[in-house]
A and B are shown apart, each in its own frame.
Chain A
């Protein structure tokens, strides 16, 4: 009860805007954004938060979510929580919420009308559990992109493909020109993500949802998904001998024209930008592999552990408010290369590929992604399967599909 009263009072404060700096409160924020572009994007968030009179204490942990998440979770369950923490919204923090360790933001959300602001609406679904809102989405990252090197196709003497099928057809020409047709790095999530993209593009949105949302094992073992596995087989043949680990090294192969293309999320865009390449001129981007133009509403969100200190709790609300502020959204997402979570902001500075994404978003062609649909456990099993599938050319397609169907069947 007391807590609710307090929240109400605080919400009032938040609504009053932050004209005069309140008592400065330090709030530790953990995240795994540590590269140049990511850090620049975080700096925008920190700047906006500091402007409210509080202080953003940065707790970055590098090495991607796999390294960072256990540490965050240990901190929260160990009774020494941070002020706020990044997760991919969806099911990663589900149990922390169920255990009552995370803060319910519903009151603030109602007050600030998040349900109206946040577009597309499904984003907030990833933050909602039993009708209550527990996180603030800050961006939309979508996996379904194919990045192609124009120079590589020119060298191979074939036109730049307009979709996946043309791309597969062009592979022999690329190979003849000494170019790696497709770059897939060794990190397991890359192979698994590439398959998911193929499933959504070659199989279609319905097939994707049938497999990952309805967890229909029979369908996953059936002929429609077999088609997707055929495509994945093409992909692994094209990706043979990529010999790099990190996804950005794979992107670098595309940038330098050593590889024809890469299936990767929109975060790859930052790499092209850093290299000074121009969308449409130096490289081509095909959302949905040119087959099924959809945007997945995955992305990053901030969660707020339940804190005892009222000062910090207050600062949490200020931060939540700041993250959704239109100005913060524009500044942050331009640096991050992701799409904003509200439809009412103007992204004039966006490049061609980002604009393509915004158009698809505006048309409402969105779908949920695996972070929201599958548990981390299932995701990991999938990663193990597909990283083996891509690395071991002698693993048969049928065998892989059988194992895939088994994973889908036991998925939760």
Chain B
């Protein structure tokens, strides 16, 4: 992928290396250093302040025996899979609709994109309101005469995570749509012409020709969506605070609550180590294939 086919003697690339110092610093000191530090202290019984009193794997035993952690993992899996699928599908469909050379494309695009300008905190608050059983959507529909109408995701343990998903999709799909739209715009018009000449139906052209060509867009999208999924926190706090009970807890919130609220750094670090571990197992091999190898054509 390197465009500079020059030999990479030290002095030749010196400027590039100097310019990369902030990146190297961030990667090594902050991300690697911070991670190692976190993993290291997850074997201690640090409470409010980090201290070096090792307790082996105690924090991990406790973590995996905690119902709240298990529920958090389950929620993250449900939320993650659905959020990934729906973000990509909705984002792509909206982009495909907007790509039909329609009028008012700017207007529609702005409407789909504006929620992304709002923080998760704001998103959570607004949807908490809209989904409020008394004066939100359920209340309004009931007051219109459909009294048996029931839509109360925020106070029903079994479906609360979907209430959060609705809000997350509202906030995030606009950006995905923009990415997809940009990808569609990058496809050469000739491809379409050729497909039409060959008499391939539109949906087949999308599925088997266009989407494979949009691979880089999907990669960027995947990184953005997936990293937001793993880190989901503010939205849950603002919308449900993890409730009802502990039904909508997520791992990042467990980490934060135990590190700072429960003043048990060791437990929080153990939880974050588990999160990091799963991220690394999934991401690193893929990232090497994607970014480390030879340039794809």
Contact = CB atoms under 8 A, between A and B. Distances in A.
Interface string A210-248: 000000000000000000000000000000010101000
Contacts of B157: 391-392
Contacts of A391: 157, 243-247
Nearest to B132: A243
B258 interface: yes
B116 interface: no
B262 A379 contact: yes
Nearest to A63: B237
Interface string B242-254: 1111110000000
A228 B297 CA distance: 69
B253 to A, nearest CB: 11
Contacts, number: 85
A92 B244 CA distance: 26
Contacts of B241: 186-188, 245
Contact of B267 (A188, A377, A389): A377
Interface residues of A, number: 30
Interface of A: prevailing SS: helix
B246 A95 contact: no
Interface in A49-75: 66, 69-70, 73
A375 B47 contact: yes
Interface stretch (A169-177, A262-270, A380-388): A380-388
A391 B244 CA distance: 6
Given A95-B49, A375-B47, A69 B260 contact: yes
Nearest to A243: B155
A64 B263 CA distance: 16
Contact of A377 (B134, B155, B262): B262
A271 interface: no
B99 to A, nearest CB: 42
Interface of B: prevailing SS: loop
A377 B133 contact: no
Nearest to B67: A388
Contacts of B66: 381, 384
Contacts of A186: 155, 240-241, 243-244
A403 B259 CA distance: 22
Contacts of B27: none
A99 B49 contact: yes
A243 B49 contact: no
Contacts of A77: 49
A380 B106 CA distance: 49
A277 B243 CA distance: 31
Interface of B: 47-49, 66-68, 133-134, 152, 155, 157, 240-247, 257-264, 267
- 7 nearest A-B residue pairs (beta carbon): A391-B245, A380-B262, A70-B260, A95-B48, A391-B244, A388-B245, A377-B264
15 contacts: A66-B257, A375-B264, A376-B261, A376-B262, A377-B263, A381-B66, A387-B245, A387-B246, A388-B67, A388-B246, A388-B247, A390-B245, A391-B157, A391-B244, A392-B157
